[in-house]
């Protein structure tokens, strides 16, 4: 018997076997069960999520000897022939190679003849977005009023390229990326049926690399089985596919934390000598820092990401603030992009690694602009005492106290905090359910923030947002206390006069510049 790839061998044969698309499967089952069968279906979604498989299941559900039924038997002649692709009444067309209006005219002539052995003549057009505009227009009347017993099923990965006039004549179903946990369970079932031993970490890695595509995951699994024989381990995968691995990357990251230039380059060169490409090292570092960010935000899930506590220990994670991670990832992404055009990729990456040694010294452009703005205001208003604002993250990490005006009798001094830099406000907004859009909108319109001891004061210049924040004040206080780990208060205040301090829009700035150029006269 000839070899059959896993993606084909384990293709779903019923709606219940379509993984990760419960909404689509349930809707289609109810529609067919109630005999509410449309003229055309439009299945969209990324590659490998089950569009073509769903289309064939629909064809079997309509043409099964017991059908139309929501549960085809997969045993009758019609079901078996559709599964094998040999049913004369179920025609599969590749939209990428049959794009012209002449190909559509052939279909228009064929549908005039009734089905031969089945109840429905089904046309499955894959990658339908590749059809030409004239071919789409020729389909309009056909799919709106086809002959009795004719059903069209379109599948596409780019729904935006399908004409709105076509979409309006179809029942649309959007298939989504499959969760990694479900992919891992499916891979385990396949391996158990084939009596192949495996490590859970290896399966999690394959599921992650599949990026939500079941077909891609099955294809990678076939490759892994080929060189791992009957025992799949993560170590063997890393050796054969030239993958760095989290343990080796963590050693590289720790040399960066320790600012050890010599050990950093030694570890890097040792990875290069094992045959790992420089670009792969950067790619693995990006994934590693992303995982650190997820762990820092408590968004990690061992079922999906498989975090190793020995690799991602608390000491390593606490070495990086959120600003540090943003700066580091920005450098890594920029370097990865440069490698596509660099004449010396290895040197480019070596310079990148040396830059990362100074990750604590990196300052984001926005922080520099804020300080320049304060200096400018001081020059304009020399009588106003200038205070240096230090981001809350730096104060916490370096134990540096902000410079304060000399007021011996005052115990608590208000410290202004940049709204965009407030980590507490960012995490609170992330923790609020998306359904509570009123509170999220209010927090997005906080004008300014002041901190006084264990109290954060949120200032609003719009009455509507102030009322919303005041309504949820207890919730905000509770969330802030959970984040800080101790009692922490949130207060909201309404100051309509802050509207006058609103920064000018781009249009207003441009208008003022034009007036300056033309000696104060507005030009229209």
How many C-beta atoms lie closer than 10 Å to residue 440's C-beta? Answer: 17
Dihedral Cα 240, 245, 249, 251, nearest 10 deg: -100
Q: Does domain 180-241 have CATH number 1.10.8.60?
A: yes
Q: Give me the architecture of the 246-356 domain, per CATH.
A: Up-down Bundle (1.20)
Residues 144-201: pLDDT tens digits?
A: 899 888 999 999 999 999 999 999 999 999 999 999 889 999 999 999 988 888 888 8
Which is nearest to 154 in space by CA: 87, 85, 55? 55
Q: For the structural domain made of 414-524, what CATH number should be given?
A: 3.30.300.180
Residue 154: predicted pLDDT: 94
Q: List every span in the chain annotated with CATH 1.20.272.10.
A: 246-356
Residue 342: predicted pLDDT: 83
Residue 400 has pLDDT above 60, yes or no: no
Task: Look at 1-10, 124-133, 275-284, 469-478 and tell me which has the smallest mean pLDDT.
Answer: 1-10
Residue 409 has pLDDT above 50, yes or no: no
Q: For the structural domain made of 6-174, what CATH number should be given?
A: 3.40.50.300
Residue 397: predicted pLDDT: 42
Rounded average pLDDT over 485-496: 85
Q: Which residues pair with 463 in a beta bridge?
A: none
Do strands 415-417 and 448-452 pair parallel, antiparallel, or not at all (unpaired)? antiparallel
Residue 399 has pLDDT above 80, yes or no: no
Highest mean pLDDT (candidates 361-370, 381-390, 453-462): 453-462
Q: Above pLDDT 90, what percent of the chain?
A: 25
Residues 331-377: pLDDT tens digits?
A: 999 998 888 888 888 888 999 999 898 888 877 777 777 778 888 77
Rounded average pLDDT over 14-18: 91
Q: List every span in the chain annotated with CATH 3.30.300.180.
A: 414-524
For residue 68, cis peptide bond before it (omega within 30 degrees of 0): yes
Residue 295: predicted pLDDT: 85
- Higher-confidence residue of 333 and 413: namely 333
Residue 401: predicted pLDDT: 44
Residue 390: predicted pLDDT: 45
Residue 388: predicted pLDDT: 46
Residue 300: predicted pLDDT: 55
Residue 383 has pLDDT above 80, yes or no: no
Residues 34-61: pLDDT tens digits?
A: 989 999 999 999 999 999 999 999 999 9
411 burial level (CB within 10 Å; 0-12, 13-18, 19+): exposed
pLDDT class of 514 with cuts at 50, 70, 90: low
- Measured CA to CA, the distance from residue 153 to residue 41 in angstroms comes to 5
- Measured CA to CA, the distance from residue 175 to residue 27 in angstroms comes to 12
- Higher-confidence residue of 92 and 231: namely 92
Residues 211-236: pLDDT tens digits?
A: 889 999 999 999 998 888 778 888 88
Task: Retrieve residue 260's tokens.
Answer: 């050890």
Alpha carbon 185 to chain centroid, angstroms = 21
Residues 93-150: pLDDT tens digits?
A: 988 888 888 888 999 899 988 888 889 999 999 999 998 888 888 888 889 899 888 9
Average predicted confidence (pLDDT) for the chain: 83
Taking the alpha carbons at both ends of the chain, their separation in whole angstroms is: 81
Residue 394: predicted pLDDT: 42
Residues 62-91: pLDDT tens digits?
A: 999 987 899 999 899 999 999 988 888 999
Q: List every span in the chain annotated with CATH 1.10.8.60.
A: 180-241
Which is nearest to 297 in space by CA: 275, 261, 269, 325? 325
């Amino acid at each position: 018997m000839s070899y059959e790839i896993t993606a084909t061998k384990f293709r779903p044969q019923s709606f219940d076997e379509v993984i990760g698309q419960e909404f689509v499967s349930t809707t289609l089952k109810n529609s067919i069960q109630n005999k509410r069968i449309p003229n055309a279906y439009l299945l969209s979604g990324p590659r490998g999520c089950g569009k073509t498989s769903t289309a064939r299941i629909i064809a079997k559900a309509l043409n099964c000897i017991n059908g139309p039924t929501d549960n085809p038997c997969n045993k009758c002649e019609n079901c078996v022939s559709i599964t094998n692709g040999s049913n004369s009444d179920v025609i599969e067309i590749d939209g990428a190679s049959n794009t012209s209006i002449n190909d559509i005219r052939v279909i228009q002539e064929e549908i005039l003849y009734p089905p031969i052995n089945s109840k429905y003549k089904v046309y499955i057009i894959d990658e339908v977005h590749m059809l030409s505009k004239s071919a789409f227009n020729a389909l309009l009347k056909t799919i709106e009023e086809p002959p009795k017993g004719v059903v069209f099923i379109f599948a596409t990965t780019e729904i935006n390229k399908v004409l709105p006039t076509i979409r309006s004549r179809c029942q649309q179903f959007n298939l989504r990326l499959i969760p990694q946990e479900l992919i891992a369970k499916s891979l385990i079932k396949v391996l158990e049926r084939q009596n192949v031993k495996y490590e859970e970490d290896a399966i999690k890695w394959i599921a992650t690399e599949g990026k939500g595509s079941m077909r891609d995951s099955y294809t990678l699994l076939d490759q892994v089985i080929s060189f791992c024989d009957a025992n799949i381990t993560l170590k063997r995968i890393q050796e054969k596919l030239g993958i760095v691995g989290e343990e080796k990357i963590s050693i590289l990251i720790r040399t960066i934390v320790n600012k050890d230039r010599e050990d950093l380059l030694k570890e890097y060169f040792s990875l290069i000598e094992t045959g790992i490409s420089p670009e792969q090292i950067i790619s693995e570092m990006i994934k590693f820092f992303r995982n650190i960010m997820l762990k820092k935000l408590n968004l990690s899930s061992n079922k999906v990401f498989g975090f190793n506590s020995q690799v991602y220990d608390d000491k390593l994670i606490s070495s990086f603030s959120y600003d540090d991670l943003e700066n580091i990832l920005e450098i890594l992404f920029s370097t990865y992009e440069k490698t596509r055009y660099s004449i010396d990729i290895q040197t480019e990456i070596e310079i990148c690694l040396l830059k990362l040694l100074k990750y604590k010294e990196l300052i984001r452009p926005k922080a520099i602009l804020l300080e320049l703005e304060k200096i400018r205001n001081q020059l304009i208003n020399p009588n106003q005492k200038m205070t240096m604002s230090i981001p809350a993250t730096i104060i916490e990490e370096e134990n540096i106290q902000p410079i304060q005006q000399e007021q011996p009798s005052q115990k608590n001094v208000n410290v202004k905090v940049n709204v965009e830099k407030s980590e507490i406000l960012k995490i609170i907004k992330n923790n609020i359910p998306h359904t509570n859009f009123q509170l999220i909108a209010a927090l997005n319109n906080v004008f300014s923030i002041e901190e006084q001891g264990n109290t954060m004061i949120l200032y609003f210049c719009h009455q509507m947002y102030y009322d919303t924040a005041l309504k949820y004040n207890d919730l905000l206080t509770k969330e802030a206390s959970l984040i800080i780990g101790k009692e922490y208060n949130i207060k909201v205040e309404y100051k309509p006069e802050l509207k006058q301090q609103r920064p000018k829009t781009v249009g207003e700035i441009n208008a003022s510049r034009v007036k300056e150029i033309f000696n104060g006269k507005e030009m229209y």
